Chain A
Amino acid sequence: MEEEKPWVLISEVGGDHGYLAELADIVKQHFHIICYKELLENPELYGPKVQALLNWKFCPVVEPELLRLLPSLKVVASGGVGVDHLDVPFINSLGVKVANTPGVVSDSTADLAMALLLASARRILEGHQVAIDPKTVLIPQRLMGVEVTNASLGIIGMGEIGHKIAQRAKGFDMKIVYHNRRRRSAEDERAVGAKFCESLDELLGRSDFVMVAVKLTAETRGLIGHRELSIMKPTATLVNISRGQVVDQNALVDALQSGRIRAAALDVTHPEPLPRDHPLLGLPSVLITPHIGINTFTTARRMVERMVRNARAAVEGSPVPDEVKLQ
């Protein structure tokens, strides 16, 4: 019966970049798994059997060289909502669909956004380091953070994730403004008490916390640069949970070093991880997490289940629920 299951290509199980065993088990219920390394041992034999490719944390890298080995491929099912790492038009041109996992990642990513905002504002990392430092003999009086309650939050990108961030921020009585390509409905705005800012500059000028939650496109690449950072308040914090390329990293280093903004909290950088001598790593006002926006067992499981669902639909010839269709 094992032979009858369709073949799926994944990066690896375990190891540095791979799936946790429990997640691989979800895939195994419906597919015969072949790992990238195994494929390369005999691509002529294994390649034509592969009907689906599961892309997790950008691995395996979906390049023409790989796709050429997979003549029977029907779908690239990516984990996560961002597809900026996939050349969708090229993949489609080969008759292969692309699917992502919207929705299931939103709560977890919004939670992480708030976690970064609070950890930065209240200096939790420094607090912990002081609390456990062998040299600490007194409770420090100088470790002062900035107030979150009643502060202004400016959300750039008010998609599903941005809206959920607004919902969470509302619980802290934050004053919420947002900037988006399209204005959301009055109902959506009312639900989270958010005001639309037609002008990005206006949002930047009035916010204590600037939250970047857009997807990476040609329009959003370098969206936050020298100019935008200098419009921000010197007491403001930048939080980025979108993609590293949305922010001009050199401009960010500059702004932090010169005190043009107070701090930055980043789940994403470019590249990931940063080179070990990158100036961002040495700045005390920077909090960086290693792209863990969706890193909970609950969410990872849901994502893999969605990826499997998308892959199965493509293999069976049914409509793919989360097919990425470009305009």
Chain B
Amino acid sequence: MMRCVHFARRVTKLWAPVEAPGLLKVTNLQRSACHLPPKKVMAEEKPWALFSEVGGEGYLEGVIGIMKQHFQLICHKDFLKNPLVYGPKIQALFVWNCYPAAEPSLLTSLPSLKVVANGGVGIDHLDVSYINSLGVKVTNTPGVVSAATADMAMGLLLASARKIVEGHLISVDPKTTYLPSSLMGVEVSGSTLGIIGMGNIGYKIAQRGKGFDMRILYHNRTRRCLEDEEAVGAIYCRNMDDLLKESDFVVLAVNLSPETKHLIGHRELALMKDTATLVNISRGLVVDQEALLKALQSGVIQAAALDVTYPEPLPRDHPLLSLPNVLLTPHAGTNTNTTVRKMVQLMVENAVAVVKGSQVPNEVKL
């Protein structure tokens, strides 16, 4: 206590003379400066960022540190306790799993907002033109998500083809007394893989498919260069119908846009082989779910493996949940600690660049 007052007196000599009440104020400030490590002082200088929450629906505890290195964080729940005080401080909004929702009700209370930084590459949940109209940039995290998502696509394809889930359930079933000889799957090696959407993720799927000696067809808005095609042995199908007719496995790796909404409907499913499997790692809305349901129920296609649905999760009475030929995973395409860390790092990097006014690595430009 004595030390603090002494310190404050020393400091007042450097500063302009302060009245008694002001001295008290200074003393308090200096007390906090004495007792806390220098970092805390630095924290005051960090820009503020709003994020969803730690744990629960939000971020894993381990990655919050990455965000704290560059930002003063406030979670949505705390923000809502006093939006008028916190709102004007916030320069960055981190969106993870679509939370917090970057809607007018929120954005209008963030007058200093410079960036909506999304964790993940899909931004179909963000109205980019509206956000841009507020003078706010949108960023996402392409590249870092590709490997894990491609791995998931192959995991789903193989698990579906070789009946891994069914096999496990039989193996552990209390009633199982013999190995079933009739649990037959479909061959992956040497089969035809049709990739719809040949961006970063689609291309990595092709690379993985090649290792299984799969014949690879792809459909994309633009054709890839010859070198890219040759590296993975992929054949371009200008007409998506051709890909649908010839593929044993159809993998959807497009982003969701007005053009790709319900890209796969009744007509497309009917073109597919009745022995074919549909794998979706893009967005639920790329597929007409009702059409898919009917196709699976009537044997128009053999099976489906979906990491994404609409909505997520599906209502608990949705018929897709009980079809034996459907494999579902809960949007786990990027669910590894390694990839989540990379996503958060890139998301933060993007936000830092915008707030500092430097070159923004991953701005989403319409």
Contacts and interface: CB of A to CB of B under 8 A. Distances in A.
Interface of A: 16-20, 56-57, 107-108, 110-112, 114-116, 118-119, 121-125, 127-128, 130-132, 134, 136-150, 167-173, 272-274, 276, 281-282, 287-292, 295-300
A295 B336 contact: no
Contacts of A297: 184, 186-187
A270 to B, nearest CB: 13
A170 B213 CA distance: 12
B197 to A, nearest CB: 19
Nearest to B58: A141
Contact of B171 (A124, A130, A281): A281
10 closest A-B pairs by CB:
A171-B211, A118-B155, A115-B158, A127-B329, A289-B167, A107-B189, A149-B147, A131-B328, A288-B171, A298-B187
A299 B191 CA distance: 13
29 contacts: A18-B181, A108-B187, A111-B188, A111-B189, A115-B155, A119-B159, A119-B164, A122-B155, A124-B156, A124-B165, A128-B329, A131-B330, A137-B313, A138-B313, A139-B330, A140-B330, A143-B330, A143-B332, A147-B148, A147-B151, A148-B155, A171-B210, A172-B208, A281-B171, A289-B164, A290-B170, A292-B167, A295-B185, A296-B187
Contacts of A300: 184
B174 interface: yes
Nearest to B317: A134
Contact of A148 (B151, B176, B312, B314): B151
Contacts of B182: 20
Interface stretch (B134-142, B285-293, B337-345): B337-345
A110 B187 CA distance: 11
Contacts of A276: 174, 176
Nearest to A293: B162
B329 A111 contact: no
A114 B332 contact: no
Contacts of A57: 179, 181
A124 B327 CA distance: 9
Interface residues of B, number: 67
A288 B60 CA distance: 29
Contacts of A122: 151-152, 155, 329, 332, 335-336
Contacts of B259: none
Contacts of B283: none
A149 B184 contact: no
B154 interface: yes
Contacts, number: 207
B328 A290 contact: no
A145 B211 contact: no
Interface of B: 56-60, 97, 147-148, 150-152, 154-156, 158-159, 161-165, 167-168, 170-172, 174, 176-190, 207-213, 312-314, 316, 321-322, 327-332, 335-340
A176 B328 CA distance: 30
B101 to A, nearest CB: 15
B164 A130 contact: no
B189 A108 contact: yes
Nearest to B172: A281
Contact of A112 (B60, B162, B170, B190): B162
A297 B172 CA distance: 24
A169 B176 CA distance: 33
Contact of A273 (B176, B316, B340): B176
A114 B155 CA distance: 8
Nearest to B312: A139
A145 B336 contact: yes
A125 B154 contact: no
A136 B162 contact: no
B176 to A, nearest CB: 5
B172 A172 contact: no
A92 B184 CA distance: 33
A272 B335 CA distance: 33
Nearest to A140: B330
Given A132-B328, A145-B335, A138 B177 contact: no
Contacts of A142: 60
Contact of B211 (A56, A168, A274, A290): A168
Given A147-B336, A171-B210, A290 B189 contact: no
Contacts of B184: 20, 295-297, 300
Nearest to A144: B335
A292 B187 contact: no
A123 to B, nearest CB: 7
Contacts of A148: 151, 155
Contact of A141 (B97, B171, B179, B314): B97
B164 A287 contact: yes
Contacts of A112: 162
A89 B186 CA distance: 36
B211 A167 contact: yes
A149 B168 CA distance: 24
B159 A144 contact: no
A139 B96 CA distance: 13
Nearest to B179: A290
Contacts of B322: 132
Contacts of B190: 107
B179 A299 contact: no
A128 B313 contact: no
Given A115-B159, A124-B155, A292 B207 contact: no
B124 to A, nearest CB: 16
B186 A296 contact: yes
B183 A292 contact: yes
